[in-house]
Structure 1
Amino acid sequence: MCLQGAPRLWLALACLALSAAVTAQDAPAPASSTATPPLAIPLAKARAAAPHEASAPDAWGGVRTGNEPTLSDRVASYRIDAELDAARHSVKGSEQLSWRNRSQHPVNRIYLHLYLNAFQNEGSTFFTERSLFAAHGHSRAETTPAKGEWGWIDLTGVQQGNAALKWSFVHPDDGPATDQTVVAIDLAEPVPPGGTLTLDIDFVSQLPRVIERTGWWGNFNLVAQWFPKIGVLELPGERGATQAQWNVHEFHFNSEFYADFGSYDVRLTVPSDYTVGAVGAQQGEPSEQNGKTTYHFLQHDVHDFAWVAAKGFRTLEGSWQGPGSPSVAVRVIYPPEYIATAQPVLKATLDSLTYFSDTLGPYPYRTVTAVVPPFNADEAGGMEYPTFFTVEGDKAIDKGTMDQWNIDFVTIHEFGHGYFYGLLASNEFEEPMLDEGINEYWDDRMLRERGQRVLAPGSWLRRAGITPSMEAFAFERLDAGLAHPFDPLGQNSWDRYSTSSYGTVYSRTATAMHDLEERLGKDTMAQAMREYYLRWHFRHPSAADLRATLIDVSGNARAVDEVFDQFVYGTVRIDDRVVTIDTSRVLPEAGSWVKNGQRTELTDDDRYEQVAKAEDAWKKSHPDTGRTKPGAFPIRSTVTVVREGAAVPQILRVTFAGGSHVDVRWDDDRRWARFVFTGDTAAVSAELDPEQKVLLDDDKLNDSRTTKAYPSASRRWTADLAALLQSLYACLVTL
């Protein structure tokens, strides 16, 4: 997902300390009253976050080599028939869920996500957290639904064979008792180890007026998080699990999703004058009857399904082919008012297919669909599903402007989720950095490699011939919360200090990976990320698995461990600064000395006379040197540097009169250090990190110092600040 609001100030908060409760809801009575007590398979901990221990080599069935009969280990598959009531913005569905028990234990109870219940009232975990988070900063979804604008999902029947099952709402994260986003279902017959469960589920989904990620506006319907979806049964050695456990968190305000791979065979019936797009490939021609059209979509080896049905929308088609990939049909669905957006979105999608396939691994699916939501449905934009994502629209896009950069970045970002959320399928509840953060890092690499910089907006600047810009990574660090990093990057999505702290999942992760890249080398980092994808696509890696891969490929455990300990699992601050530059002549030293076996004494007066004579003689012998040489005696320059935070390797560049410079490495854990240089000229400036490799440094302005004031520097910073403010103001409007 792309955070909207700039600089992507997002919220998160610690999970509410409300008492856990289970609210039972009776379903139709089961055919038999005999029930086997559920096995004691626990739920993942309410505050679970990024594990420290790497997964077992055979986790999730081991590395997918490409020689298996299917791309993924298909655990949970769905056949769904759904019909949209366009007037009510509701969907009536029947679902057949097939789920395989991967564990060594019989399973008597399963858990389903009912995500749309996050939008049914203000008693949900989503709304309860949102109301508290509002006190800690900007929230993406700030509207309160009016009458008829709430959303929910009702189970109308769940059957296992001929047995009607009961269900009850549970609260794995100790959320409010009124939350109904997770439901437990007790089975009539247990699922044996290796066995397959088949459930027939009837449901009705009422879409909300677009609040966040999903919903309707006018004749536009983005149907996402809309069907009952089974949680993930993790096994020992998978993502830090030490025993079989159900990973099925509530729908938090900031959290997104986590699910098993499987197949989705979905038939969608909508009014015939609606444009439809969905996850996967359309099967055959749609059938029409009585003013309604039924579309059939099929996609194997994915873990979610979303679709759009909108009246009056248009489409733009394209295609792509790359080494190791099938021919890919690319489609942009957009409202007429945003026609200017369609072509840039198509091009950015095609470019992304090339870059991600070349750098990580071939794109394995046959379709990509990008949806541009209409005006007033912006909160449906910037969201991702397998082979299907939403972007943002604009009525006019000038090339070489911030508007174009924004459209390109959001498109690249949402497509990139197809790899980090889609193919790698990390747990977005517990480890959002693995998707949002690592994806943001790879997006910035793509922008850097195509030479696309963040441009300051404003036609008045362009008319004046001024186009301030900065690299994407430099822009990221401005929003990375480097001064007060309250939460580790590896924290889960909801236990966050503030809205801003969650936002740093994007920017601080990208900045941390940039700095790690500088320590390992760009080529090594590229090789490591490709290996990470090769090992873990279709397998659900953890942050510990990413760390292990980086160490294996780079061989530099020290650098990798430092970054992970300091930022993924810790909250350190970095701020190194140059404090002083002191210069002095190296003059004869007064005192009693033994020279050639004889003791002599040099008084201060003697020294003064000796220095004066030497200087006079030197000037006579160097009449044309001007001020480039200090005189008869060498110059000692002492540069003092201080660490206000964690120790990181730094380069100190000291520049001397005449233009020469010396680089020294500060690579120890001293809180301060003095570096002494003796030569013919005096030091005139000193700068830490001259090549801007340590972007995690909170204050880059104190990284350098000169012995003289240069007005041009202040003028430059003033211009850069103006450009930055323009960029940030533009983001407030556009992101």
Structure 2
Amino acid sequence: MRKLLICTGALALGLAADAQDIQNNPGSNHGNKFEQLGTILPTPNEYRTASGAPGSKYWQQRADYDIKCTLDEKNTRLTGSETISYYNNSPDALTYLWLQLDENEHSNSKNANYQDGSSLRNGAIDINTLDKLQEQKTENGYGDNITKITDITGKKLAFTVNKTMMRVELPATLKPGEKFVFNVDWNYKISDRMKLGGRGGYELFPEDGNMLFTMTQWYPRLCVYSDFQGWQNHQFTGRGEFALTFGNFKVQMTVPADHFVGGTGECQNYQQVLDAAHFARWQKAQTSKEPVQIVTLDEAKKAEGSQSSATKTWIFKADMVRDFAWTSSRKFIWDAMPAFVEGKKVMCMSFYGKEAYNLYSKFSTKAVAHTIKSYSKFTFPYPYPVAQSIEAANGMEYPMICFNYGRTEKDGTYSEATKNGMLGVIIHEVGHNFFPMIVNSDERQWTWMDEGLNTFVEYLTEELYDNKFPSKRGPAYSITDYMKMPKNQLEPIMTNSENIIQFGPNAYSKPATGLNILRETIMGRDLFDYAFKEYARRWAFKHPTPADLFRTMEDASGEDLDWFWRGWFYSIEACDIALDSVKGFQFDPNGQVKFPVMGRRGEASADGMRGLDKPAVNNFEDISKIRNREDKNIHFLTDVDTTLRDFYWKYDRGIAAYDSTYKFKATSPFMLDALTDADKQKYAGKFIYELSFSNKGGLVMPVIVQWTFADGTKEVDRIPAQIWRKDENHVTKLFLKDKEVTGVLLDPMRETADIDENNNSWPKVEAQSKFSIYKMKQAARGQSTGLNPMQKAAQ
């Protein structure tokens, strides 16, 4: 990993792996907390100014794509070809280009190989974990197959694949101001994302035998080449997301003829791919004040019953976007309505299966419209013609389209947690259109620059949806449990995405909370809102770094905030201001104080019985809710549009009563299933070994393990140095072996310069004890489970 540099050129903050709180006089008892960030931030230059604005010679690259692809549903394979036009707007001459092959993360042989530690829990292990250990040394068939790369004349180009990155050699130096056009042909096996995880792939619905495809990170795409970093070609590990180049897209997707497709940008041939009835509904939706169902529930159910062997080609076009994603399924219900942002029409749409109907048909498209209007108020007018929400049992964002969760019980009811989770994820993922789809930060390096900023504006938007919305990320009081954790479990916000332990609090909650503290407590709403909007305006459709945000917020507000950035973003210190003495008494011999219990879920008893969910309102009225209520210019969406007032709107206000006495058998989305005979046989006679490693010297290096088996044979496993990234002192790791181990030796070929080899060997493995295997069944993300108050009220 690259370290933060104090530099005089454009290399700077974006390179930091762990940004440290550098102080000039650390031994002093004063001044350090308020020292300026001059020794930490990069030196301003002609590309990025001291004010935080783009400089007079700011530049960025451009990549245009013309893609044709075919979805083979039966064999779950995608085949594509693309023509890429790459514009070198930099002052540098380039001899090669770097492209991202994100699908390689699913491959056992081509993934980034950033391993995490692992261990047994009470002598038991999930069979899925065993399956992954078993498959690690085999080829599972996933990942990009690059079949051909040629220039515009058809001449083959040399290329090298390094895990999730591909370097394409240019036939001649690409000089500043020049364009290079080339072709890439590829295919890959689409993964079952409900089993393998990840953001893209398919979900199989066993009850009707159909699939829902979410095609994301699906085509080879250019890495960013920037003034502050050069090529951003850090490997994709599945966590740190993306750094991408803006450009124009034309994409043709050939899919089964009975599928409906949603994608980034505008469809160019609705009249050809839709029948007359569906196209007429699409036209009606253009002027409707309520969502119009272009594909109805009954039509979607009917489509599930048969699968067409014919195909259709959908054509989409999107300009000035950094990425392209799409979805395809015959299961979709599709609704749409327009929203207007400063007079410009934006078509807000939702695609969802029958499993989510009672939630998505009521809330989704209106939540999309609310999000783009609210974000536009705090940043800049939404510039794109489309915004879409797709129910796909996950949460992930792309330009003009996002994938969210939220399914009902089979009877159509849902819990309040499912409803609020759905609203929160829709607002969050649609909001990502602003950060980082337009304000295009480097997510691979700085997760907080998109997730933290977006979570902050999500919080503002949730607060405008309903004054009682139980927002958890934003209010200052809700971050304290994280801030008081042991120091060895914390890292500064300014930490590389791959090295964070408490990922949600660090990259989402703490940055969002910090910005809210600035807005409500330190700067005030007027100063903050002006400066934050200026940052968004300055860096729309550009590549900002943290320094550009910090400098702009100060430049546009006239507030010296270096002390705040230093304390909140560069350190792990918590606020702990003691009140040492307050005198004054009033005696009450019978007084007794009880504090409210945190949490809102019904509590399960020892016999597995639990009560109904309590109303999901925050147990503390934070300052934002109070000020929003007092502001006569703020009108909450559930007051403006009363169709959004469902059972739980009344439940939170006491109109629908909470039954505190009712008990029922608790259920969980996580269930332990008995293993089949085949499962048991698969691992009969296998051995699991858990090794613990300590870093006594301090230098992180790869861990090389040589195993000696009872039959005298040997085997070597090589673990990359990244195993230490979440704990540089100690790590444990599981290994699955076919034979009994009698000896373990570290660094057998003396490759790591280990200064003490006396602690590198374990001459005899302790007697093998028994371990158990279990199978864990997981419901789709956001799925309602068990009895909910809506069901109880119906009874």
TM-score, normalization by structure 1: 0.64
The aligned counterpart of 1:568 is 569
Residues 116-155 of structure 1: pairs in structure 2 closer than 5 A: 116-121=103-108, 124-125=111-112, 128-130=114-116, 151-155=142-146
The aligned counterpart of 2:475 is 473
Does residue 321 in structure 1 map to residue 340 in structure 2? yes
- The structural deviation recorded for 1:504 is 2.0
Does residue 158 in structure 1 map to residue 149 in structure 2? yes
Does residue 47 in structure 1 map to residue 20 in structure 2? no
Q: Tell me how far apart the structure 2 counterparts of residues 357 and 88 of structure 1 sit (CA, whole Å).
A: 43
Contact 1:479/1:504 (<8 A) preserved = no
Contact 1:444/1:472 (<8 A) preserved = yes
- The structural deviation recorded for 1:327 is 1.1
The aligned counterpart of 1:212 is 198
Q: Tell me how far apart the structure 1 counterparts of residues 185 and 589 of structure 2 sit (CA, whole Å).
A: 74
Shift in alpha-carbon separation, 1:474–1:552, aligned structure 2, 3 A: closer
The aligned counterpart of 2:494 is 490
- AA of the residue aligned to 2:540: H
Contact 1:447/1:472 (<8 A) preserved = no
The aligned counterpart of 1:278 is 263
- AA of the residue aligned to 1:330: C
| CA offset digits 1:80-131 (Å, max 9, x no partner) | 00011111221111110111112223211111110000011176226x4356
- AA of the residue aligned to 1:90: R
What is the RMSD computed on CA atoms of the aligned residues? 3.8
- The structural deviation recorded for 1:511 is 1.4
Contact 2:106/2:143 (<8 A) preserved = yes
Q: Tell me how far apart the structure 2 counterparts of residues 383 and 306 of structure 1 sit (CA, whole Å).
A: 10
- The structural deviation recorded for 1:724 is 10
* Structure 2 residue corresponding to 1:346, chosen from 356, 360, 365: 365
Does residue 548 in structure 1 map to residue 590 in structure 2? no
Shift in alpha-carbon separation, 1:724–1:295, aligned structure 2, 3 A: same
Shift in alpha-carbon separation, 1:209–1:578, aligned structure 2, 3 A: same
Does residue 85 in structure 1 map to residue 72 in structure 2? yes
The aligned counterpart of 2:751 is none
Q: Tell me how far apart the structure 2 counterparts of residues 234 and 55 of structure 1 sit (CA, whole Å).
A: 15
Query: Helix, strand or coil: the match of 2:185?
Result: strand
Query: Helix, strand or coil: the match of 1:221?
Result: strand
* Structure 2 residue corresponding to 1:405, chosen from 417, 420, 423: 420
Does residue 453 in structure 1 map to residue 462 in structure 2? no
- The structural deviation recorded for 1:283 is 0.5
| CA offset digits 1:112-165 (Å, max 9, x no partner) | 110000011176226x43565999xx99x9896799976311111111233211
Structure 2 residue runs of 5 or longer lacking an equivalent are 3-10, 21-39, 205-210, 274-307, 604-612, 619-666, 671-778, 783-795
| CA offset digits 1:541-564 (Å, max 9, x no partner) | 11111111110122111xx21221
- The structural deviation recorded for 1:57 is 6.1
Query: Helix, strand or coil: the match of 1:194?
Result: coil
Contact 2:348/2:387 (<8 A) preserved = yes
Q: Tell me how far apart the structure 2 counterparts of residues 162 and 405 of structure 1 sit (CA, whole Å).
A: 53
- The structural deviation recorded for 1:287 is 5.0
Residues 576-725 of structure 1: pairs in structure 2 closer than 5 A: 576-581=577-582, 583=583, 682=584, 712-713=592-593, 715-717=594-596, 719-720=597-598
- AA of the residue aligned to 1:489: I
- The structural deviation recorded for 1:526 is 1.3
Query: Helix, strand or coil: the match of 1:296?
Result: strand
Q: Tell me how far apart the structure 1 counterparts of residues 248 and 541 of structure 2 sit (CA, whole Å).
A: 13
Q: Tell me how far apart the structure 2 counterparts of residues 709 and 255 of structure 1 sit (CA, whole Å).
A: 58
Does residue 363 in structure 1 map to residue 382 in structure 2? yes
Shift in alpha-carbon separation, 1:64–1:562, aligned structure 2, 3 A: closer
Shift in alpha-carbon separation, 1:116–1:123, aligned structure 2, 3 A: closer
Contact 1:476/1:508 (<8 A) preserved = no
Residues 179-258 of structure 1: pairs in structure 2 closer than 5 A: 180-210=163-193, 211-218=197-204, 219-235=211-227, 238=228, 241=229, 245-258=230-243
Contact 1:398/1:404 (<8 A) preserved = no
Query: Helix, strand or coil: the match of 1:183?
Result: strand
| CA offset digits 1:349-382 (Å, max 9, x no partner) | 1111111112211010101111101xxxx3xx21
Structure 1 range deviating more: 306-315 or 256-265 = 306-315
- The structural deviation recorded for 1:513 is 1.4
| CA offset digits 1:678-719 (Å, max 9, x no partner) | xxxx377xxxxxxxxxxxxxxxxxxxxxx9899553x233x3
Contact 2:474/2:509 (<8 A) preserved = no
Shift in alpha-carbon separation, 1:132–1:104, aligned structure 2, 3 A: farther
| CA offset digits 1:218-253 (Å, max 9, x no partner) | 211111111111111112xx4xx4xxx111211023
The aligned counterpart of 2:537 is 534
Residues 376-391 of structure 1: pairs in structure 2 closer than 5 A: 378=393, 381-391=394-404
Shift in alpha-carbon separation, 1:104–1:322, aligned structure 2, 3 A: closer
- The structural deviation recorded for 1:169 is 2.8
Does residue 519 in structure 1 map to residue 522 in structure 2? yes
Shift in alpha-carbon separation, 1:561–1:414, aligned structure 2, 3 A: same
- Indicate the structure (1 or 2) with the bigger Cα radius of gyration: 1
- AA of the residue aligned to 2:270: E
Query: Helix, strand or coil: the match of 2:499?
Result: coil
Contact 2:212/2:327 (<8 A) preserved = yes
- The structural deviation recorded for 1:167 is 1.5
Shift in alpha-carbon separation, 1:470–1:434, aligned structure 2, 3 A: closer
- AA of the residue aligned to 2:460: R
The aligned counterpart of 2:432 is 417
The aligned counterpart of 2:654 is none
Paired residues in the alignment total 523
Identity %: 22
- AA of the residue aligned to 1:370: S
The aligned counterpart of 2:716 is none
Contact 2:428/2:455 (<8 A) preserved = yes
- AA of the residue aligned to 2:233: V
Contact 1:105/1:193 (<8 A) preserved = yes
Structure 1 residue runs of 5 or longer lacking an equivalent are 1-13, 16-40, 66-71, 171-179, 456-468, 584-681, 685-706
Shift in alpha-carbon separation, 1:580–1:392, aligned structure 2, 3 A: same
Q: Tell me how far apart the structure 1 counterparts of residues 669 and 527 of structure 2 sit (CA, whole Å).
A: 33
Q: Tell me how far apart the structure 1 counterparts of residues 600 and 590 of structure 2 sit (CA, whole Å).
A: 19
